[in-house]
Structures are given as C-alpha cells and as structure tokens.
A and B are shown apart, each in its own frame.
Chain A
Amino acid sequence: MPASLVQNESILAIDVGAAVTRAVMFDVVEGQYRFVASGQAPSTAEAPFKDIGIGVREAIINLQNIMGTTLLGPQDNNLIAPSQPDGTGVDAVVATLSAGPTVKTVVVGLLSDVSVQSARRLAESTYSRVVETLDLSDHRRPDQQMDSIVRSRPDLVVLAGGTDGGASRSIQKMLEAVGLACYLMPMEKRPMILYAGNQKLANDVQEMLGGHAGKLQISYNVRPSLDTEDLAPASFELASLVIKLRQRQIKGIEELNLWAAGNVLPTAYARGRMIRFLSKLYESTRGLLSVNVGAAATSVAAGFAGELTLGVYPQFGLGENLAGILQHTEIEDILRWLQLDIAPNTLREYLFQKSLYPSAIPATVDEQAIMHAIARQALYLSVRTAQRDFPASAHAAGTDLMPPLDLILGGGGALSDGTSLGQSLLLLLDGIQPVGIMPVLLDQNNLLPLLGAASSRNHYLPVQVIESGAFIGLGTVVSVIAAATYGDQVLRAKLAYSDGTEARAEVKFGGLEILPLPTGESARLSLQPLRRADAGLGPGKSGTVTVTGGALGVIIDARGRPLRLPGDPVRRRELIKKWHYTVGG
C-alpha cells in the first residue's frame, strides 16, 4: 500500500478491559493525526455474556452516536472496513486486551538469582500470577516437581536458563519434568509454553515439548550471557502467546483479531511499547514512568534511556482480585490514606464485597474515597515491586526513594474516573512518591496502550496524537526531601510568569503548595531550599528552572520522602483533608 494512503487512514482503536471496553477513533484533522472521540461500554468477557464482541459493538455504537457517523453495518452489525466514499466505516483497526482471568504461570529456570529472575520478570510483563517455580536449587524429585506442576494447573510455562551455548543437561532435566506434566494434563487444558533459554537446545525443546504443549513458542534467550538480560524479543512472543491463550478462553477475540489483522496486543504490552518509544524519542535522561490502576491489574511501565521495565500486577488490580491485596499489605496500610473514620473490619468486608462485583462503580462520596484509598495502596505496592527491576542506571538517592523522573503519566479507571483532576494528582503523588521536578500528565481516555498498538501500523500517529494534547497536563510537581518536622519552613519558591508578574510561596514541611500556571504556559521557577532540603536540585542547592503549567499549575509537595503520615489517626485524617482541599477537594 502506498505510504500516503497508510498515513492518512482512519484508525479505530479498541481496548477490551476487565471492566470497560473502549472504542476510540484516531483520524487526520488538518494534516495531523488527532484523537477524535471515544465511546465506551461495560466489558462482556464474563458470564452471562461470555463474548467480548457484545461489549465491543456496544462501545462502537456509542462512538458512532458521539461522532454521528456509521461504523457498523446496519444489516449485519459488522464493521465497515475500509472506509467508504459516503464517509461510513474505518480504514483500520488496532486492539488491546486486558480482560480475562489471571494467567497462572509456572516459571522454570536454572539459577534462582539469574535465569529464574529473568523468567519471573518476563512473566510479570503480562497478566500473570506465578504459581510454581522450578530451578536447580529445587531438591524435589522430578516426579514431585511434575505433580506440583500438574496440581497448579498452569495456563502458561515460561522456561529460561543456560547462556547461549552453555548449560544444556540441567535444562533438559527441567524440560522432562515440564513435558511429562503436560502429558498428564487433559489435552484441552495443556499450558502454553514459552522457551527463552539456551538457543542450542531449541530443537530439543521442540522435540520434547512440541507435542505436549497447548502451544509452544521458542524465543531468543532472555539471558544470552550471564551478565546480559534481553527481555524484549521474548516479551513480544509472550504477548502473542497470551492473546492465543485468551482466544482459547474467551469468545469474540478471534473476530477482533481478524478486524485488527492479527495484531491484538495485551494492553500492558502495548503501553510498555509506547513508553520505550517515548523514552527514546524524547531522549529522556532520567526516566519516564507510566502507571495504570485498572480492574485487571495495576501496571507500571518505566523507560530509562530506552530501556523498559514493565510490571503487571493482577494482585494489585481493583477488580476481581481486590480482596487479594490483603495478602500483600496490612489493612491499616490502606486505612492510612483515608480521611474517613472507618473500622478495619468494615474496610475488610468492603474489599471482599466489592471483589464480587468488579465492574460496579462507587456511587457515593464515601465509597469513592474508600476506592481511592485502596488505589493509592495498590499503586504504592506496584511501584515498589516494579522498582526492584529498574535498571542500575535508575539511581535513587536512598533505598526507599524513587529515582528522579522526567515525566509521570497516569491512567486507568481509578485515576481517570473524571471526578477531580486534583484527586487524580494527589493519588499519583501518594502512590508513587516521586522525587525531583517533573511534569505529571493524565491519560484520561486511556489512550497510551492504543497508541502503542497503533504504532506498529503507523509511526506518525502516536507522536502526532500526543503532541496534539491528548493527555491532560496536571502540572509540574516539585518534591521536597528534607530532614525536618511538620511546620518547619523548608523552601522558598518564586514563580516568574512571562508577563512579568510573580507568585511566591513559603513552603513548610508537611504541606502542599500550589502556584497557578495555566496549561500551555511556561514560567521560571526559583527554588531556595532551607535546612539543606532537596527540591530536585541537590541537597541545599538553590536554582531556577523553567516549568510548564497544567490544570493545577506548579505543585510543591513538601510532605517528605518517603511520605510518613502521622500515627495519630485524628491528626492524620485532618492532614489528609487539608491536602485534598489544597488540590481542589
């Protein structure tokens, strides 16, 4: 197809989430790709519908109503593609998917701190839960290992181990256990297998496992040498395998894949692809961080100099796994974020009850506050979990601090529910606790993964859509690290606007200050830390930086890093109320 046609095609992007399905239109407006409109509907992967196609069509119908165009054929309800001279239809479809049960995964490797870690990181780049791990330090007999695999009823096995041309005998033993376990499972329940180990064994793997796996995919080695890890090729194969698994589990994906010319991607993978791309494109010297707090999972994608860390955590999702968060955190750690006085048991019952109805939404102010408190803790845990796998170049000033970032981009149901931009910002600050100076954006229409999916079809589209302002700029955040007590003054800040006027703030430890700076404007921010506080320029260092505006302006977060909330619940709730008030209630 000629490049000019490819570059001018309209693209319908569909995201099938655990709770919500979105249909988004990207088209060329005045020579540039733009986000045109979005329609949404409840997802229908679960019973009683059991067919994602119902929700997809409903989302497209809602999009049609908003745009006033016709995308589905009036007779057969099928997608009209390519677009017709009368303006109906669409030229191309891209799609992402996060709906579906958590992928039960067995991780197999040789060394527990080398290949097993790589295989674990690979598994965590999709919607999986590791249910069993096998490695050389496992002293169980092969038949015990095999029984353990069978009992865990995995959907997926990720096999790694051995540098290219390195160890092979030990891996073969592992392959035997996996192969026999697969052989013992009913044909229709056999797991998908991804092999990303010693490439010399690829033929042996094919021979030993090919006939017993639900589907076998052989990828490049995630550990070509002991000191090199390369997850990218295997992540791509894993993404493709997960979609094949979903096709086996859920009706309607095959049709969507047909519409998308075989390019349906797991949502988190597409988001990660976009963050890697942006990290390279904008030559980010520090890091780009994208977080998504959704029903299926909370996911973290961080790009450091083009290197991607992608973590997908279904255990911290706000949907059916919600009550499972209590296996990873104390109830008090969720309660600490609440401005409401709620008994721990009430919150516990709330978590269990809400997990019965993952797609239900908070109808009252109190319930919304509870959901935001849970989302804060889910985000906090996810970011800390992902941080273990950040590259060494992502250097943090302290063990419990984040490395400095160039940009934060938030998305997902909990952040983009549209209640208040200030609440979304505060949730991001509490959950991530960033350090330094960085702009914060909100992906209110959850476009990032769809742009990632579209990028393989059209390289111009993502850049043009992002530069057209598809994300909401919340503002520039300045985080202050200080050894001080509440109420001590730690920073003097002066914002010099382009029209010559100024705004000043005397910032006290424990406080949040906002200096107004509208979206699209920039200004010079002078920072003068006191008590050797670090406002992003180094301990005690003063300086002036150019900052960009946003819906809230310049936000100076002097609540401390890590954020330590008062132990006294009354005082804590008062403070939280005050912070909420500061960002707009």
Chain B
Amino acid sequence: MLAPMLHVLPLTTIVRERVLPVAGKVNARVNQRVNPTDVIAEANFAREHVLLDVARTFGVSAIAADKMIKVNTGDRLTEGALVAEKSGMFARTIKAPRAGRVMVAGGGQVLMEVGDTRIELRAGLPGMVTQVIAERGVVIRTAGALVQGVWGNGRIDNGLLVRLLQKPDDILSADQLDVSLRGSVILGGHVRDVETLKAAAELPVRGLVISSLLSSLIIPAYQMRYPILVLDGFGAMPMNSAAFKLLTTNDKREATVNAEHFDRYSGNRPEVIIPLPISTEPDEPSSYQAFSVGQTVRMRRPPNAGMIGAISNLRPGLSMLPSGLRARAADVKLENGETVMVPLVNLEVVG
C-alpha cells in the first residue's frame, strides 16, 4: 500500500512554484538568484467592475449605442472621462464614474474595471529561478531543511528562527513575547489564547511556528498579518519529535514560513524552509512511497496521535482494530519503546 509523506528533512532540495493569483508581469529570469524579499512578479488586479449600459441609458438599440461609444477596449479613463455621447436636440453624455480601464466595449455596453489593487509577489525563499511561468511567476530551487505542517493562515514571511520552547508539550504565552523578538520567527508550543496571537502581532513577529492551536483561535489566526503555521493540529497537541528535534537545532537561522492553506488536491501544504549552504545538491524528496519495515512514521490519529515511531512489522491481510474495524495495519515501535498496532491509513511516512 502506498504511503503519503510528511517531510521533516534536515537537508533536501526544495522546488517551489511561486505564482500570482491573476496574470501579471514577471520580473525574474531563469538562473537568477533571488532573496526572499525580492519582488519576482507583480500585477494590477481590479477588485470591482462597472457596467455602463449605454443603449439603455440613451434608449437606443445596441447597434446605435455602439456608434455613440467613444472609448475602446484597453483605454485607461480618468474619473469623469467621456464614455459615450448622444448628439442632437437632446444631447446627453455618459461619463466614467471612477477611474479605470475599459475591459470591453460593444453590444451597447461598456465594461470597466475599477479599484485597481497592485499585487507584488515576493520570492518568499532564497534560491535560483529555474523556470519562468509566463505572466504568472517562477519556479525557485533551493536547498535546506524542510518541515511540513498541517494548517496555515495563508501568509508567508521570513526571519530569524527563535526557539521559545524547551519541551514538545510547552505552551506559548503572551508573557514570553518581548520586544527583543521583534522581526523573528517564533518557534513555540501549543497556543491556547488570543492574547498570545495579539502580542505577537504587536511586536510584530515575522511568523509563528507552533505545535498546536485551539480550534476556537482559527478565526483570530486568519486575522493576523503574520504567518501562523501549525505543525501537529488542533487541541493541546505536543510537537512531534521529528519536527521538534530538527527545528530546535536550527535556532537562530534564517527561516521562511510559508503558512499556505493545506490543499489536499494540489498537495500544497504549510511549511518551514531553512536554507542551508551545500557543496553537492541533495536529492528532492519523494512525495509517496510504499509502506515498508523500518520506515519512520507519524501517527495521524488517536490513541498516539502525533507520535513518531518505526514500522517493525507489516501485518498480512486485514487486522482487527480495538474499534472493531478491520484494516491493513502495521506494528509500530514508538520512541518510548512501546509497540502498537496502527492501521496503515492512519500513518504517514516521515522523510
């Protein structure tokens, strides 16, 4: 049976696509080395549109209205600019209600996009541009440590990783966040109150990487302007030992926190990338493997959710679980020495 992977890797090659949500201009070129804050692409995005119904306003047919329209597709108009004019004894005009661009003119109507918003896409991670995706963005290749999580608030930033937890089950609280942490990426444990999120925002920090979050804090977490990455889940869950060991040993290193949403169809998931110098490029991680004895695995569900162990035996056929369900299962030796039977669908391979 094939196993999904959870990447917790001390050194690997990381290839990431960074693209605009709408078509725009790509500033980077192939083989260009980029820093996290470099603007690699930009776009103007109109959030609103205005439809001017010339035919209806003038009370004429669409064909007649088209002859009265004075603008063309692509024209940039200032507020009050003439859009259409009806001459004669009862001359009338239609003017642009807001500044914007004509998207389409015809059929007796003019559609304008207004309320331009400029989007700047930053590289997010340091590395080499290996591909330019026309009008959208780039593919960046880098090497470093990679730790994936399970939830993110949709933001990305980078800064110095500062460790604020000593044990995997530590709690991160507001009183731990002082001004010396301004601009840092905080590595913390479980967050159980909104005050902690607010205190981090006030500094501000460049990111929070935490073991777990109360589900009641999901909405406030979305409102924070810095990335929040949850490694293990919701409720009071300790940090899994693989992530704990790797991240705590990278204290005071530059880290990129890409707290994007976990999209189970595209495979994009929130992650921490810690760029590292290399002499030879390491392999790219595989996205799935077949289950096999010896693999390091993470338990996804109770009773040992979040714990790391090693597969000691793949059971043949279907096994009866304590719940009464029958499923393919493995014996997993946990780090505390205990061996437990776990259904394969409740495991992910760490690597």
Q: Which residues of chain A have a CB within 8 Å of any CB of chain B?
A: 41-42, 44-50, 54, 58, 100-101, 141-143, 146-147, 150, 180, 183-184, 186, 249-250, 320, 323, 345-346, 348-354, 356-368, 417-420
Chain A residue nearest in CB terms to B289: A48
Could you give 25 example pairs across A and B, Cβ below 8 Å? A42-B2, A44-B2, A49-B2, A101-B265, A147-B49, A150-B49, A184-B49, A186-B22, A186-B23, A348-B216, A349-B236, A352-B215, A353-B233, A353-B234, A353-B235, A353-B237, A356-B233, A360-B345, A361-B301, A364-B302, A367-B323, A368-B323, A417-B325, A418-B324, A420-B324
Please measure, in the bound complex, the distance between the C-alpha atom of A359 and the C-alpha atom of B302, giving whole angstroms: 14
Task: Say whether B103 contacts A184, CB under 8 Å.
Answer: yes
Of B150, B265, B321, B342, which contacts A356 at CB under 8 A? Answer: B150
Identify the 8 closest CB pairs spanning chains A and B, nearest first. A47-B267, A349-B235, A48-B287, A419-B324, A368-B323, A143-B51, A352-B234, A352-B215
Chain B residue nearest in CB terms to A366: B302
Please measure, in the bound complex, the distance between the C-alpha atom of A46 and the C-alpha atom of B268, giving whole angstroms: 11
Task: Say whether B1 contacts A58, CB under 8 Å.
Answer: yes
Task: Say whether B1 contacts A357, CB under 8 Å.
Answer: no
Q: How near does chain B come to A445, taking the closest CB pair, in angstroms?
A: 14
Task: Say whether B305 contacts A147, CB under 8 Å.
Answer: no
B119 within 8 A of A: no
Interface residues of B in 309-332 (CB under 8 A from A): 321-327
CB contact under 8 A between A357 and B234, given known A45-B265, A143-B51, A349-B215? no
Residues of B within 8 A of A419 (CB): 323-325
Chain B residue nearest in CB terms to A41: B1
Please measure, in the bound complex, the distance between the C-alpha atom of A358 and the C-alpha atom of B151, giving whole angstroms: 14
Please measure, in the bound complex, the distance between the C-alpha atom of A446 and the C-alpha atom of B128, giving whole angstroms: 50
Q: Which residues of chain B have a CB within 8 Å of any CB of chain A?
A: 1-2, 4-5, 22-23, 47-51, 53, 103-104, 111, 150-151, 214-216, 218, 233-237, 262-268, 287-288, 300-303, 305, 321-327, 342-343, 345-346
Most buried by A among B51, B236, B237: B51
Q: How near does chain B come to A212, taking the closest CB pair, in angstroms?
A: 11
Residues of B within 8 A of A417 (CB): 324-325
Residues of A within 8 A of B287 (CB): 47-48
Of B2, B300, B303, which contacts A357 at CB under 8 A? Answer: B300
Task: Say whether B51 contacts A146, CB under 8 Å.
Answer: yes
Give me 7 other A-B pairs in contact (C-beta within 8 A), A354-B301, A357-B301, A363-B346 excluded: A47-B268, A142-B51, A147-B48, A184-B49, A348-B216, A352-B218, A353-B235
Of B218, B263, B322, which contacts A363 at CB under 8 A? Answer: B322
Q: How near does chain A come to B287, taking the closest CB pair, in angstroms?
A: 4
Q: How near does chain B come to A68, taking the closest CB pair, in angstroms?
A: 15
Task: Say whether A360 contacts B324, CB under 8 Å.
Answer: no
Most buried by A among B47, B150, B322: B322
Of A44, A349, A358, A363, which contacts B343 at CB under 8 A? Answer: A363
Please measure, in the bound complex, the distance between the C-alpha atom of A519 and the C-alpha atom of B262, giving whole angstroms: 47
Please measure, in the bound complex, the distance between the C-alpha atom of A31 and the C-alpha atom of B324, giving whole angstroms: 37
Q: How near does chain B come to A150, taking the closest CB pair, in angstroms?
A: 8
Please measure, in the bound complex, the distance between the C-alpha atom of A180 and the C-alpha atom of B49, giving whole angstroms: 10
Of B22, B50, B267, B305, which contacts A48 at CB under 8 A? Answer: B267
Task: Say whether A362 contacts B233, CB under 8 Å.
Answer: no
A-B pairs under 8 A by CB, number = 143
Please measure, in the bound complex, the distance between the C-alpha atom of A419 and the C-alpha atom of B51, giving whole angstroms: 59
Residues of B within 8 A of A142 (CB): 51, 53
CB contact under 8 A between A361 and B343, given known A184-B103, A356-B233? yes
Please measure, in the bound complex, the distance between the C-alpha atom of A201 and the C-alpha atom of B115, giving whole angstroms: 35
Task: Say whether B267 contacts A361, CB under 8 Å.
Answer: no
Task: Say whether A364 contacts B322, CB under 8 Å.
Answer: yes
Task: Say whether B264 contacts A368, CB under 8 Å.
Answer: no
Residues of A within 8 A of B151 (CB): 356
Task: Say whether A360 contacts B301, CB under 8 Å.
Answer: yes
Residues of B within 8 A of A49 (CB): 2, 288
CB contact under 8 A between A367 and B111, given known A42-B1, A49-B2? no
Residues of A within 8 A of B326 (CB): 418
Of B235, B264, B324, which contacts A47 at CB under 8 A? Answer: B264
Please measure, in the bound complex, the distance between the C-alpha atom of A526 and the C-alpha atom of B335, giving whole angstroms: 62
Task: Say whether B4 contacts A48, CB under 8 Å.
Answer: yes
CB contact under 8 A between A183 and B104, given known A48-B4, A141-B51? yes
Residues of B within 8 A of A44 (CB): 2
Chain A residue nearest in CB terms to B150: A356
Residues of A within 8 A of B215 (CB): 323, 348-349, 351-352
Please measure, in the bound complex, the distance between the C-alpha atom of A146 and the C-alpha atom of B263, giving whole angstroms: 27
Residues of A within 8 A of B2 (CB): 42, 44, 49, 54, 58
Residues of B within 8 A of A367 (CB): 301-302, 323
Residues of A within 8 A of B303 (CB): 363-364
Task: Say whether A349 contacts B234, CB under 8 Å.
Answer: yes
Residues of B within 8 A of A41 (CB): 1
Q: How near does chain A come to B105, taking the closest CB pair, in angstroms?
A: 13
CB contact under 8 A between A180 and B51, given known A362-B301, A363-B342, A368-B324? yes
Residues of A within 8 A of B103 (CB): 184
Task: Say whether A346 contacts B235, CB under 8 Å.
Answer: yes
Please measure, in the bound complex, the distance between the C-alpha atom of A100 and the C-alpha atom of B266, giving whole angstroms: 11
Chain B residue nearest in CB terms to A100: B265
Task: Say whether B264 contacts A320, CB under 8 Å.
Answer: yes
Task: Say whether A47 contacts B214, CB under 8 Å.
Answer: no
CB contact under 8 A between A146 and B235, given known A323-B215, A348-B215, A356-B151? no
Residues of A within 8 A of B53 (CB): 142
Chain B residue nearest in CB terms to A65: B317
Q: How near does chain B come to A513, taking the closest CB pair, in angstroms?
A: 24
CB contact under 8 A between A361 and B51, given known A58-B1, A367-B302? no
Chain B residue nearest in CB terms to A423: B324
Residues of A within 8 A of B342 (CB): 363
Please measure, in the bound complex, the distance between the C-alpha atom of A248 and the C-alpha atom of B196, giving whole angstroms: 43
Task: Say whether A143 contacts B345, CB under 8 Å.
Answer: no
CB contact under 8 A between A180 and B301, given known A357-B346, A363-B342, A364-B322? no
Chain B residue nearest in CB terms to A143: B51
Most buried by B among A180, A183, A353: A353
Please measure, in the bound complex, the distance between the C-alpha atom of A141 and the C-alpha atom of B109, giving whole angstroms: 14
Residues of B within 8 A of A183 (CB): 104
Q: How near does chain B come to A55, taking the closest CB pair, in angstroms?
A: 9
Task: Say whether A359 contacts B345, CB under 8 Å.
Answer: yes
Residues of A within 8 A of B268 (CB): 47
Of B4, B48, B265, B327, which contacts A361 at CB under 8 A? Answer: B327
Q: How near does chain B come to A75, taking the closest CB pair, in angstroms?
A: 20
Please measure, in the bound complex, the distance between the C-alpha atom of A137 and the C-alpha atom of B62, giving whole angstroms: 26
Chain B residue nearest in CB terms to A181: B49
Q: How near does chain B come to A152, taking the closest CB pair, in angstroms?
A: 14
Task: Say whether B345 contacts A42, CB under 8 Å.
Answer: yes
Q: How near does chain A come to B341, taking the closest CB pair, in angstroms?
A: 8
Q: How near does chain A come to B94, taking the closest CB pair, in angstroms?
A: 14
Please measure, in the bound complex, the distance between the C-alpha atom of A348 and the C-alpha atom of B151, giving whole angstroms: 16
Chain A residue nearest in CB terms to B305: A353
Please measure, in the bound complex, the distance between the C-alpha atom of A420 and the C-alpha atom of B325, giving whole angstroms: 9
Please measure, in the bound complex, the distance between the C-alpha atom of A368 and the C-alpha atom of B343, giving whole angstroms: 14
Chain A residue nearest in CB terms to B233: A353
Chain A residue nearest in CB terms to B324: A419
Task: Say whether A361 contacts B346, CB under 8 Å.
Answer: yes
Please measure, in the bound complex, the distance between the C-alpha atom of A48 and the C-alpha atom of B327, giving whole angstroms: 21
Please measure, in the bound complex, the distance between the C-alpha atom of A298 and the C-alpha atom of B265, giving whole angstroms: 21
CB contact under 8 A between A365 and B322, given known A183-B104, A348-B215, A353-B234? yes
Please measure, in the bound complex, the distance between the C-alpha atom of A183 and the C-alpha atom of B103, giving whole angstroms: 10
Task: Say whether B111 contacts A356, CB under 8 Å.
Answer: no
Q: How near does chain A come to B95, taking the closest CB pair, in angstroms?
A: 16
Q: How near does chain B come to A504, taking the closest CB pair, in angstroms?
A: 32
